[in-house]
Structure 1
Amino acid sequence: MTYDHDALFIGGTWTKPATDATIEVISPHSEEVVARVPEGSVQDIDAAVAAARTAFDEGPWPRMSPAERIEIVQALSGLYAGRLGEMAEVITAEMGSTISFSNLAQAPAPWMQIEAFLAIAREFPWESRRAGALGSDVVVRHEPVGVVAAIAPWNVPQFTVLSKLIPALLAGCTIVVKPAPETPLDGNLLAEMLIEAGVPEGVVSIVAAGREVGEHLVTHPGVDKVAFTGSTTAGRRIGALCGERLKRVSLELGGKSAAIILDDADLTATLEGLKFTALMNSGQACVAQTRVLVPVGRHDEIAGALAETVAAMKVGDPSDLESEIGPMVARRQQERVESYIALGQEEGARLLTGGTGRPAGLDTGWYVRPTVFGGVDNRMRIAQEEIFGPVLSVIPYGSVEEAVRIANDSDYGLAGTVWTADQEAGLEVARRVRAGTYGVNTYTMDFAAPFGGSRRPGSGGSSVRRAWLSTRS
């Protein structure tokens, strides 16, 4: 299969790019070029925003009834469901997610979001009448905010694109999507489906580009709202730029979530669950629970068992169905993760498995040895900073109250879990941990529920209504 492309998806049509610049998509496994596609320029962004502006100000999309927009998005959902396997293969090829994870989450989760947002849209009170305080009735309308700029990261590219695109479309917005330059290929596949679904021209553009072009999109006067998922550093910059311009913005940023193992937890089941919740997508996930909090009296037992479990996980070719840990997305990410592993040793944490250096038997690829540290103090940088790789920190606690305090002692409050035989006790812990989404003996996101967090995870991500609609009476 060839993934090469020579055009950009601007205003709903395949368009010749303004420059000859290209993006080389490198396989994180083989380190070979798997595709060459156009790199979006400032001129391409200007064309995309102009198309979106015209489509919003003059076109049919925001003037359709919600039912008409729902019908087109439902058609997109059907097309997407028919191409899940293809989407999974594309994402594995471009960013190195194991094919098992791509088949489980990278492709199906975006489709599940479409269906969840459709269900919300069908019941949403787009317009309502209520009694006014001055004696006459008031009509409340929820209206689209306008042209949306959606900037997505490379780790779960379709999931983060569709979490912005689908609510925007259903609300009647037009949208310019900027995928990360590491992952432009899945966006091209999505574009094909948007055309086939009948989304009108001008409504959607998908332009992969780097940071400078992304900043131009954020500051473009034709954009009414910015939705960003990515690093805290980039989010802080985008938030500042939008604040200067009084522009609406939603930020979904980093995480450093904690898994609390209570003393009565079934250790076998807990370790099997942590293989996913702590190491999903090879650790390249904002919701990954990479801080593992354990009772001090059972620290050595649990940390040792966790290290054995992680050491037994198969690291290798992401296209192999048996691989559980794939490569990092890029060499810079591999180097970043290894620098944190070295830092953990310098800080005095006990290396229980893994460490720096290439995993055995892998001569190419941006791989990192899955690593578990024991005896970690929550003040250490490996416990406070987002590493975004397969590195776990086991932290002892003396009481449930201390476990909750440690879980909350972080700049991030995105996700978390508690593992216990007593579900009610688990729910009580969940209520006390400041995290946007929380699981008892598991971690999954229900796409009908809000998703967000507190502190550095960002702002504006917990409500579809707040993100995409304005209200007037």
Structure 2
Amino acid sequence: MTLNEVVCISPIDGRELVRRPIMTDAALDRALAAAREAQRHWRRVALSERKAAVLRALDALEAMNSDIVSELAQQMGRPVRFGGEFGGVKERAVYMTRIADESLAPLVPDDDRPGIRRMVKFEPVGIVLVIAPWNYPFLTAINAIVPALIAGNAVLLKHASQTILVGERFQAAMDKAGIPAGVFQNVVLNHQQTARLLAAGEVDHCNFTGSVEGGRAIERAAAGSFTSIGLELGGKDPAYVRADADIEHAVDSIVDAAYFNSGQCCCGIERVYVDAHHYVHFVEGVAALVSKYVLGNPLDQATTLGPMAHKRFADHVRRQTADAIAAGAKPLIDTGVFTADDGAAAYLAPQLLTNVSHEMGLMREESFGPVLGIMKVSGDDEAIRLMNDSPYGLTSAIWSSDVEAAEWIGQNLNTGTVFMNRADYLDPGLAWTGVKDTGRGISLSRLGYSAVTRAKSYHLRQLNHRPS
């Protein structure tokens, strides 16, 4: 790879999959000018027409899905048997479209004043830069793209190099839907160009999903520009299995939440705290289920666990796991039966560790891979303390039969979302947000429109009004 190109190396075989040139600075300037001009007209298009155009783009994406599924497997390793991401993309896009009228309606004060018309309108911010990650390349991008376009903004999409073809799929869908030229543009940029956009205030809002260090780089670049920023960064999401939990359901759902997508999920479960009453039963159940995964080529329908997106990601998890074992953690999975894992490529066998502690990086630092640590706890207080012992705060999950208890525990957890009896799911009707090093800002729900709009107040006084 040169400084002027982006190259995607497939995790399947380590070979180059696709290569794309980075935009020249002149081309980027033209893209910005086109976005400014297009947005000036797009914001005046009726909301009903903007919504219809977005739904047409959604239909165009759906028509491509069979090809997209295999492309995703080749780019980032998710097995084709899971069918891609379109189900979640559709759920979020349709919901955000449905609530747009209410979300963008003017806010009218409830104290009427004769002769004065008052309201707060929500206007588009202008140009929204979406910087999307590779792990859920359509789902993460759609969270920002749909409300931004519906609200009347222009969108520049910069996708991760590992999933560079996703940006092209979005562009093709927008073009097929008849969205005017310049309103949506897929751009291939380097870090210096991205920093320039932010530092110069050439975009009005930036939505970034990625690493903590990446988020810090975004904030540094935008410092002093007054560009608004939404950041969804790292996570070390915990689960708590209470004494009143349905253990079979907890085993099934936690294993899926921890190992799906080879553990490369923003809100996947990475650590579990189990009430002492259920600890042995739970650990045995998880170990039995994890041992059934089939690690292999993601293009094979029999594969249930594909390679990680890149060898360096697998190597990080290998080092973290080895450090934990050296410090006393007990591995429960015989990784030798997973022949695809040769210890040198992106294929990584799943692992489950007990006898872990918060002295180990495995229980406090993001893994983002198919490994899970389990600790025994005495009850709610200890579970809350350990669940909060992390620099991250995206989601937390509680397995219990007591809704009131789960809500009370949730009030004491420092995360943006609290689940009960499920995990690793984005409800489009709820705000998707995080605390601590997980970042700041909101996407989805009615509040998701607030990031891509700005409030403008109107106080319109009629001089010819005569009070009665």
Please report the TM-score for the alignment, with normalisation by the length of structure 2: 0.90
- Distance in 2 between residues matched to 1:243 and 1:303, nearest whole Å: 47
Tell me which amino acid in the other structure corresponds to 2:36: R
Does the Cα contact within 8 Å between 2:235 and 2:392 map onto a contact in 1? yes
**In structure 1, what is the equivalent of residue 291 of structure 2?**
311
**In structure 2, what is the equivalent of residue 25 of structure 1?**
8
- Distance in 2 between residues matched to 1:125 and 1:327, nearest whole Å: 42
Tell me which amino acid in the other structure corresponds to 2:23: G
The superposition leaves residues 421-461 of structure 1 with CA deviations (integer Å, 9 ceiling, x where unpaired) of 44443343334323222222112221122111211111112
Structure 1 position 99, deviation (Å): 1.7
Mapping of residues 290-305 of structure 1, within 5 Å = 290-305=270-285
**In structure 2, what is the equivalent of residue 16 of structure 1?**
none
Structure-2 change in CA distance of 1:125 and 1:207 (3 Å): closer
- Distance in 2 between residues matched to 1:174 and 1:354, nearest whole Å: 51
- Distance in 1 between residues matched to 2:320 and 2:35, nearest whole Å: 42
Picking from 92, 106, 111, the partner of 2:85 is 106
Does the Cα contact within 8 Å between 2:364 and 2:391 map onto a contact in 1? yes
- 1:130 matches 2:109: yes
Give the RMSD, CA atoms, in angstroms: 2.3
Does the Cα contact within 8 Å between 1:28 and 1:329 map onto a contact in 2? yes
**In structure 2, what is the equivalent of residue 196 of structure 1?**
176
**In structure 1, what is the equivalent of residue 460 of structure 2?**
none
**In structure 1, what is the equivalent of residue 450 of structure 2?**
466
Tell me which amino acid in the other structure corresponds to 2:100: A
The superposition leaves residues 220-244 of structure 1 with CA deviations (integer Å, 9 ceiling, x where unpaired) of 4321111100001110221232233
Tell me which amino acid in the other structure corresponds to 1:185: L
**May I ask how many residue pairs the two structures share in their alignment?**
450
Stretch moving more, 22-31 or 451-460: 22-31
Structure 1 position 79, deviation (Å): 2.0
Does the Cα contact within 8 Å between 2:195 and 2:222 map onto a contact in 1? no
Mapping of residues 48-197 of structure 1, within 5 Å = 48-56=31-39, 59-101=40-82, 103=83, 106-130=85-109, 136-197=116-177
Structure 1 position 141, deviation (Å): 0.9
Picking from 3, 11, 17, the partner of 1:34 is 17
Structure 1 position 125, deviation (Å): 4.0
The superposition leaves residues 378-404 of structure 1 with CA deviations (integer Å, 9 ceiling, x where unpaired) of 342111111111110112211111111
Q: Compare relative contact order (CA 8 Å, sep 6+) and give the higher one, 1 or 2.
A: 2
Partner-residue secondary structure (3-state), 2:129:
strand
- Distance in 2 between residues matched to 1:220 and 1:150, nearest whole Å: 17
Structure 1 position 133, deviation (Å): 8.3
**In structure 2, what is the equivalent of residue 7 of structure 1?**
none
Tell me which amino acid in the other structure corresponds to 2:366: E
Mapping of residues 33-432 of structure 1, within 5 Å = 33-56=16-39, 59-101=40-82, 103=83, 106-130=85-109, 136-353=116-333, 359-361=338-340, 365-432=345-412
Tell me which amino acid in the other structure corresponds to 2:34: A
- Distance in 2 between residues matched to 1:45 and 1:383, nearest whole Å: 42
Tell me which amino acid in the other structure corresponds to 1:50: A
Partner-residue secondary structure (3-state), 1:23:
strand
The superposition leaves residues 178-224 of structure 1 with CA deviations (integer Å, 9 ceiling, x where unpaired) of 00111111211121110110111111111234433332333343211
Does the Cα contact within 8 Å between 1:354 and 1:372 map onto a contact in 2? no
Tell me which amino acid in the other structure corresponds to 1:460: G
Does the Cα contact within 8 Å between 2:104 and 2:151 map onto a contact in 1? no
- Distance in 2 between residues matched to 1:436 and 1:347, nearest whole Å: 32
- Distance in 2 between residues matched to 1:359 and 1:153, nearest whole Å: 28
- Distance in 2 between residues matched to 1:464 and 1:422, nearest whole Å: 30
Stretch moving more, 79-88 or 259-268: 79-88
Partner-residue secondary structure (3-state), 1:259:
strand
**In structure 1, what is the equivalent of residue 432 of structure 2?**
451
Structure 1 position 376, deviation (Å): 1.4
Does the Cα contact within 8 Å between 2:199 and 2:224 map onto a contact in 1? no
Structure 1 position 134, deviation (Å): 7.0
Tell me which amino acid in the other structure corresponds to 2:225: R
- Distance in 1 between residues matched to 2:299 and 2:379, nearest whole Å: 43
Structure-2 change in CA distance of 1:256 and 1:20 (3 Å): closer
Structure-2 change in CA distance of 1:282 and 1:42 (3 Å): farther
Moved over 6 A (4+): none
Stretch moving more, 232-241 or 105-114: 105-114
Stretch moving more, 357-366 or 460-469: 357-366
**In structure 2, what is the equivalent of residue 6 of structure 1?**
none
- Distance in 1 between residues matched to 2:125 and 2:142, nearest whole Å: 17
Structure 2 segments unaligned to the other structure (5+ residues): 458-468
Structure-2 change in CA distance of 1:354 and 1:425 (3 Å): farther
- Distance in 1 between residues matched to 2:301 and 2:183, nearest whole Å: 38
Tell me which amino acid in the other structure corresponds to 2:310: A
Structure 1 position 67, deviation (Å): 1.6
- Distance in 2 between residues matched to 1:314 and 1:182, nearest whole Å: 24
The superposition leaves residues 88-110 of structure 1 with CA deviations (integer Å, 9 ceiling, x where unpaired) of 22212211112233x1x523212
Stretch moving more, 440-449 or 21-30: 21-30
Stretch moving more, 150-159 or 238-247: 238-247
Tell me which amino acid in the other structure corresponds to 1:47: R
- Distance in 2 between residues matched to 1:133 and 1:410, nearest whole Å: 49
Stretch moving more, 213-222 or 286-295: 213-222
Please report the TM-score for the alignment, with normalisation by the length of structure 1: 0.89
- Identity among equivalent positions (%) equals 29
Structure-2 change in CA distance of 1:331 and 1:299 (3 Å): same
